[in-house]
Structure 1
């Protein structure tokens, strides 16, 4: 589904409601008013517009109000100039325009099966979990080995559309980002100074009729971190249990982009896997129970898609090759007269 264009709630502030909002603007000046009156009205409009459009910290559109002044996504470049760059993320991937790249081979996931029990935190914008840096990825046309640093999620409202990236305009309910940096860097700040210093693996979620038991440690922990800066110990989990099986990770998209939150640094190699992760509606709803710092429901935690600006998006050939091999085997079997077992 296409994402609607975001609009600042205070732009159309003239209203006939009895209870005026803090952003109510005075009526336009009549031609009969004196020049002095017009100057006063103009000054009032300017001051109110400054008040209501906000300044300071960045926020998602769902957080913006005149009571909570912040830079919503369309004004993130005011919070950080990098957000106005030409290679920003997320993007809409138009599958028919992607370029097949045979060099996009399967990844090698090292220590992804190892369990850990790090804290899970509501950081005011999302849910985030630090990952022991012994978990690494390589292959997949990455320039070197990258080590995992953290993972976090982006979601919509009450299980509705909420992924950051979209595929042919379709927005999934949620998106997981596992953030990695080049193995020799000590921290993300240093890695982000390298144009290829960070590699993020992105996974989409789809609604399922049954609960995903592998996600129960995270879903259960959400009840203890509803408020901003809330954190709790996470039951033992592994990265491999959160994502599809390795044999189902051969089909993916690749492009170069940025962080999807300010500072929007353009130093990310993005990999987005086709196979989605199933979660029940009840599990998806659990994320909308979290709270932003002002107490509002933490929903709509995604940045709108950004212009491609001439960048190329590549696709791996793994899934296509697998399908072709299967069809070939079926053709041979049929030709030889073998029947399939019931």
Structure 2
């Protein structure tokens, strides 16, 4: 009898599906930054379309020169986190990366997801841990479906994944991305280890949540010198080094470690992108570099590296003849709609914003119907 009961229990246990771990240990965020621009400041970019409840659920970040001039620009993790999703989702999305972050508000541990869409490619994989400022991909155009831009979302609800239409499209599930970054620029208890929930996305799409759909206006690049239409943030300072309470004895291990730390050149964790955004070589590093070896007979010193231009030159329009100024873009919408302001962004005016054409602008509405929500 006992043997039969044990066999039955073993059969039932073997029939149960194995469940993956529900938590992962990550470092809590010490602060948040924007996903584009040097050191996460957003410099050189603008919000072409902002977040609007029941409308556009994220922010479309585009280069200030417009068009595809930002194609291939680096995209950075906004904070330390865990890669929940990194795949080509096809249809209106293309390559998508979703990161999960743990952060403290006071003494309360909270969680959020950040989404990066339409990437040209990505350099992380699911289950990997990332740090703030790490390059995770490059700005893309969903394989030519749109003009190049980054679709960036911040989510409160950890169950949405790629099934946006199955959840309320409002502030109960979403943040305004740039405002969240500005208000969480520095977080307490940064780099403390924390358990985050994983495996929270449903395997199949839950029922669609019906609701209104609000159009979100699309704006062209601002004129030179215009203030940015997002909450400006400055680079986060490097983490403070812990100062020992007492002076170590000369010659001790602590003293040697102290001297090595003091002589170490400070650096940021943000990777230096290649190509048109390459930075000038550091003077301090150049001075510290040893001269090239001349032990080999007839060897020559390498030629000095020419300084890269401070800012990339704007791309010329192939259809514009030399000496001619291209005609400004016009809106293919009623005049009352072209100056419609996003309630969550400073109201644009016809003097500091040039609306772009709705048709052919690259910001298309999903032609596949729902497909997890309109307006990418």
Q: Is TM > 0.5 for Structure 1 vs Structure 2?
A: no
Q: TM-score range by the shorter chain?
A: under 0.3
More helix by share: 1
| Structure having the higher Rg | 2
TM norm structure 1: 0.26
